């Protein structure tokens, strides 16, 4: 396969530098944590000094993975670093960590529309996870696949493909996973850590949210809503909703889901998901957010009923434009 010149630029930038700070997006997921930790272990194997700074802590199930508790949680970074490696971020605002722009920036990402904010920009929208790109870089660096690196690459791929549900999966995705298993990853244990270590409040919260779910006039779009009062009543928290947005897609007729989480009285975190060729990434972009074709998000303000109508109209359009 043709090799991106940016990859060679990154190899020489790493070779000539010693101290690295790594960061990724706020509210981290499996791909942001897995990409960062795989990179950190690889750089450490080369004798480099590595610090990871994230705005928010990892979701509870991911805390069990090696190195995750050592991530520094802060909204700013200071210190003497030769470069910052930002992974899994389409824009430099995504980390929510001030001060990163002071450093030599290496941008590694797979989100369509990446703004190219780095001194080096390696962008590959065909990667199923940013963790795939990190794997390729680690291979090119000549660092052997340790169990720690392998478990983080596998975590990134498993979660960012929605457990091998989403588009973007290629033979290489499975080849990387094969190598991760050969390096010691136990897929049963990883799946249990990620999917089967939740609390009862989360299950009750899922029940409450799904009971209140609405379906649009076409019967193809599920609208899911959560506010703090519902969460309290169910005995769960907003953090417990990870993965909930995907559940309505398990119904044959449902082609897209929009999930509104009320954060302030008129502010909402919105997650959108879709099947097949339905592009909800461009829907989220119209509302100032972004993401991938089948998984995207944004933050919006306004009245809930109005916002709901606006999103449903745009998603109905995306369904017309796409075809399964």
Can you give the binding site for Mn ion, defined by CB under 5 A? 31, 88, 130, 160
Which one of ligand 5GP, Mn ion, none is in contact with 298 (Cβ closer than 5 to 8 A by kind)?
A: ligand 5GP
Could you say which of ligand 5GP, Mn ion, none residue 226 binds, taking C-beta under 5 to 8 angstroms by partner kind?
Answer: none
Touching ligand 5GP, residues 33-92 (CB under 6 A)? 90
Residue 299 interacts with ligand 5GP (CB under 6 A)?
yes
Interacting partner of 271 out of ligand 5GP, Mn ion, none (Cβ under 5 to 8 A depending on kind): ligand 5GP
Closest distance to Mn ion from the beta carbon of 253 (Å): 28
Nearer to Mn ion, 130 or 150 (CB): 130
In sequence order, what DSSP letters do the residues of 161-203 get, joined into one string? TTTTTSTT--HHHHHHHHHHHHTT--HHHHHHHHHS---HHHH
- The answer to whether residue 24 forms part of the interface with ligand 5GP (CB under 6 A) is no
From Mn ion, ligand 5GP, none, which one binds at residue 296 (CB under 5 to 8 Å depending on kind)? ligand 5GP
Q: How many residues bind ligand 5GP (CB under 6 A)?
A: 11
237 Cβ contact list (under 8 Å, min separation 6): 201, 205, 231
289 binds ligand 5GP (CB under 6 A): yes
Give which of 212, 213, 217 is closest to 312, Cα–Cα: 217
Sole window of 131-139, 205-213, 246-254, 291-299 interacting with ligand 5GP (rule: CB under 6 A) = 291-299
| Binding residues for ligand 5GP restricted to 248-287, rule: CB under 6 A | 271
Residue with the shortest CB distance to Mn ion: 31
Task: By CB under 6 A, name the one of 83, 152, 297, 311 that touches ligand 5GP.
Answer: 297
Q: Which long-range contacts (CB under 8 A, 24 or more apart) does 230-236 make?
A: 230/205, 231/205, 233/208, 234/201, 234/204, 234/205, 234/207, 234/208, 234/209, 235/200, 235/201, 235/204, 235/205, 236/199, 236/201, 236/202, 236/204, 236/205
Residue 278 or 295: the one with the smaller Cβ distance to Mn ion is: 295
CA–CA distance, 99 with 121 (Å, rounded to integer): 19
- Whether 275 and 300 have beta carbons less than 8 Å apart is answered as no
> Closest separation between CB of residue 32 and ligand 5GP, Å?
8
Whether the CB-CB separation of 159 and 59 falls below 8 Å is answered with no
* Whether the Cβ atoms of residue 134 and residue 87 lie closer than 8 Å to each other: yes
Q: Which residues bind ligand 5GP (CB under 6 A)?
A: 90, 271, 289-292, 295-299
């Amino acid at each position: 396969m043709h090799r991106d010149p940016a990859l060679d630029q990154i190899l020489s930038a790493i070779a000539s530098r010693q101290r690295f700070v790594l960061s990724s997006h706020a509210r981290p997921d499996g791909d942001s944590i897995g990409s960062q930790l795989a990179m950190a272990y690889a750089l450490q194997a080369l004798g480099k000094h590595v610090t990871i700074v994230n705005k928010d802590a990892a979701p509870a199930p991911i805390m069990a993975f090696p190195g995750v508790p050592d991530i520094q949680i802060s909204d700013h970074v200071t210190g003497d670093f030769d470069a910052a490696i930002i992974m899994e971020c389409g824009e430099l605002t995504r980390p929510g960590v001030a001060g990163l722009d002071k450093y030599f920036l290496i941008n590694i990402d797979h989100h369509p529309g990446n703004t190219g904010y780095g001194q080096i920009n390696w962008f590959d929208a065909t990667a199923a996870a940013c963790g795939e790109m990190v794997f390729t870089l680690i291979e090119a660096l000549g660092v052997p696949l340790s169990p720690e690196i392998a478990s983080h690459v596998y975590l990134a791929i498993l979660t960012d493909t929605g457990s091998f549900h989403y588009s973007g999966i290629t033979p290489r995705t499975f080849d990387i996973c094969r190598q991760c298993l050969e390096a010691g990853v136990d897929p049963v244990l990883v799946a249990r850590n990620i999917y089967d270590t939740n609390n009862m409040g989360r299950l009750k919260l899922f029940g409450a949210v799904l009971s209140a779910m609405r379906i649009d006039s076409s019967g193809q779009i599920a609208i899911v809503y959560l506010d703090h009062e519902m969460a309290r009543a169910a005995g769960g928290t907003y953090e417990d909703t990870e993965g909930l947005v995907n559940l309505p897609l398990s119904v044959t007729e449902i082609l897209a889901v929009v999930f509104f989480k009320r954060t302030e009285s008129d502010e909402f975190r919105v997650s959108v998901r879709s099947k097949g060729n339905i592009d909800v990434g461009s829907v989220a972009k119209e509302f100032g957010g972004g993401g991938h074709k089948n998984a995207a998000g944004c933050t919006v303000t306004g009245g809930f009923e109005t916002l709901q109508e606006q999103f449903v109209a745009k998603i109905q359009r995306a369904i017309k434009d796409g075809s399964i």
